[in-house]
Structure 1
Amino acid sequence: MTNAKLGDALRLLGLDRATVRVYLALLEKAPAPLTEIAAAAGLDGAALVTAYDALVDAGLASAAEGDSGVVAPVPPAAGLEALARRRAAEVEESRIAVGGAFESFRRQRLAAYNDGLVEIVTGEAVGPRIRQAWTSAREQIRQFESPPYFPLATATDDALATLARGVTQRVVYSRASLEHPGHLKNVIEPCVNAGEQARVLPTVPVKLVIIDEAYALVSLSIKEADVHNTMLVVQPCGLLSALMALFEQSWHNALPFHGSTARPGGLAPADRRLLWLLAGGAGDEVIAHELGISRRTLFRRLQILMARLGAANRFQMALQAQRNGWL
């Protein structure tokens, strides 16, 4: 390694330039009297004493006895380890200091710029704010829907009233929504039959309601505890634009849950529900429970539907059902 690179390496460990010069001279001349090392490093007096003492403290050189004492470098392993640890601690302190300074700046700047871009709503205020959102919609509501649910008794009535006012409602349901006890029958199907456009994904990235292009409600739900008592209200900003783009991409990738309220080809409502659940990814036990039938009866009805559609398996049946407008 050249002296220049070695000097850079030593400075990275926290040694100043004078100390580095003394160490390089030590490697070149030692063992030698300290006066000879001083001459090679171009230092004398207090500057020399300070630099050499720093090497001794760092565990890189032996102590000198007087100005003319013979000195030499020592094996650096222990000293380098101590220097590296000290340097790491200093870097960590610097990182914390800079991060804290920027966080303080960010809070002050955002507060001065606009403190209302994101509002936090908690506890009992969540329900009224959700109702207000549905009431305020004028053109379109876009929603990611998944458990856990806020205990709002009027939620389905509010959604139906919004649809009755002519507001377009597009909802991407998670598979967990279809499997949530009673949710399909009491919430999803009434809204779909009232004109809601629904699609299904295995999971949704976040619980979300976008009201027109005015603002969004983002739930801070805790799935493990089945808690939904905090949400963010996001006003027009880059975050709202990102949420709208996320919804549109997810909508594009989701499977249509319902295409027509008619009964094409004489399809019975129960069979149509069966196909909806199957297309949504619900398991056999969930489908049987929702339809109020046994697993054996479910398998028999699936066989009848597959024969009617000329399908050899469930995947082909889903494709044929979609082509026939049954989904």
Structure 2
Amino acid sequence: MTNERLGEALRLLGIDGPARRVYLALLERAPAPLEEIGEAAGLAGAELAGAYAALVDAGLAGAADGTGAVVVPVPPAAGLDVLARHRAAEVEESRIAVGGAFDVFRRQRLAASPGDLVEVVTGDAVGPRIRQAWASAREQIRQFESPPYVPLAGATEDALATLARGVTQRVVYSRASLEHPGHLKDVIEPCVRAGEQARVLPSVPVKLVIIDDAYALVSLSIREADVHHTMLVVRPCGLFSALVALFEESWSGALPFHGRTARPGGLAPADRRLLWLLAGGASDEVIARELGVSRRTLFRRLSTLMARLGAANRFQMALRAQRSGWL
């Protein structure tokens, strides 16, 4: 290792310039009197004594004998461990300090300019901002999902990549999501199989994506999302807290469905899709269309599932299917 690289390694461990020069001189000349080491390092007096003391404190240097007249570098293992832990602690303290300073700045800035709490994104900027949001998630994404959909190439791949990074995704789908042609098969089911936690309600109040506890993307209403192509970016504030509470309340009352089964053998994917659509409140016409079967075939399959579950009607079938882990 060159002196330059070694010096940089010592710097990263918190050893200052004079101490680094003394340590390099020790490696070249020790064992030797401290004054000789200082001469090689270009130091003397109090500056030399301080640099040498720093190396002793770091566990990198010491006396060669009991008199202390001659100094040497010492095996660095223990000293380097202490330095590394100390450096890590300093970095963590610095991270907290910088983060705290930014929080103070943000509070002061937002107090002075409340408009910074909410950003309006419109038109062609909506799609890229949504993709940026998914890529920025680190812990969890909470979402209300319903048509109309912004045409966004790669949206499903973005969701799958986010799941693959270990980000938790909880999504409440509207009945319209399940009824949207091809959406269940091409979008919802792949994400559920990849680990998404999905639930369904007859309708959702807004199109909403909450990224960690950092910000939310929200439409003013389902209709306005279609007409105006407008999205709000809401940062932590009272409105943000209300959106989080709205999601959690809706999540607790929504019907779960997932892509695994509790019974050996489970269900065929088409039958599971049938139950999901039925539980979501889709009409017989929509279910038959999504499954690509006639209404007559649909009724026959419903009768088979009801018999398999020992159910007397559709409501009882949905209830028993949920208890069996089929929804």
Question: Shorter-chain-normalised TM-score: which range?
Answer: 0.5 to 0.7
Displacement after TM superposition at 1:257 (Å): 2.0
CA distance in 1, matches of 2:325, 2:307: 17
Unmatched runs of 5 consecutive residues or more in structure 2: 1-108
Is contact 1:117-1:235 (8 Å) kept? yes
CA distance in 2, matches of 1:319, 1:201: 15
Q: Which amino acid aligns with 1:283?
A: S
Unmatched runs of 5 consecutive residues or more in structure 1: 1-108
Residue 309 of structure 2 aligns with which residue? 309
Residue 318 of structure 1 aligns with which residue? 318
Residue 177 of structure 1 aligns with which residue? 177
Residue 126 of structure 2 aligns with which residue? 126
* Mapping 1:203-282, distance limit 5 Å: 203-220=203-220, 223=223, 226-227=226-227, 229-258=229-258, 260=260, 264-282=264-282
Name the TM-score, length of structure 2 as normaliser: 0.64
In structure 2, relative to structure 1, the CA distance for the partners of 1:227 and 1:151 (3 Å cut) is: farther
In structure 2, relative to structure 1, the CA distance for the partners of 1:275 and 1:228 (3 Å cut) is: farther
CA distance in 1, matches of 2:148, 2:213: 25
Name the TM-score, length of structure 1 as normaliser: 0.64
Displacement after TM superposition at 1:112 (Å): 3.5
CA deviation vs aligned residue, 1:252-294 (integer Å, no higher than 9, x gap):
0101122626774442111111111111111111111111110
Displacement after TM superposition at 1:295 (Å): 0.4
Q: Which amino acid aligns with 2:271?
A: D
Q: Which amino acid aligns with 1:300?
A: R
Q: Which amino acid aligns with 1:208?
A: L
In structure 2, relative to structure 1, the CA distance for the partners of 1:255 and 1:211 (3 Å cut) is: same
Q: Which amino acid aligns with 1:297?
A: T
Residue 287 of structure 1 aligns with which residue? 287
* Mapping 1:31-70, distance limit 5 Å: none
Size of the aligned set, in residue pairs, is: 219
Displacement after TM superposition at 1:227 (Å): 3.5
CA deviation vs aligned residue, 1:121-150 (integer Å, no higher than 9, x gap):
011111110000000000000000011111
Aligned-residue sequence identity (percent) comes to 86
Displacement after TM superposition at 1:222 (Å): 5.6
Is contact 2:120-2:231 (8 Å) kept? yes
SS for the counterpart of 2:116 is: coil
CA distance in 1, matches of 2:154, 2:240: 26
Pairwise CA RMSD of aligned residues?
2.0
SS for the counterpart of 1:115 is: helix
Q: Which amino acid aligns with 1:113?
A: S
When structure 1 is superposed on structure 2, of 132-141 and 251-260 the one drifting more is: 251-260
CA distance in 1, matches of 2:257, 2:227: 27
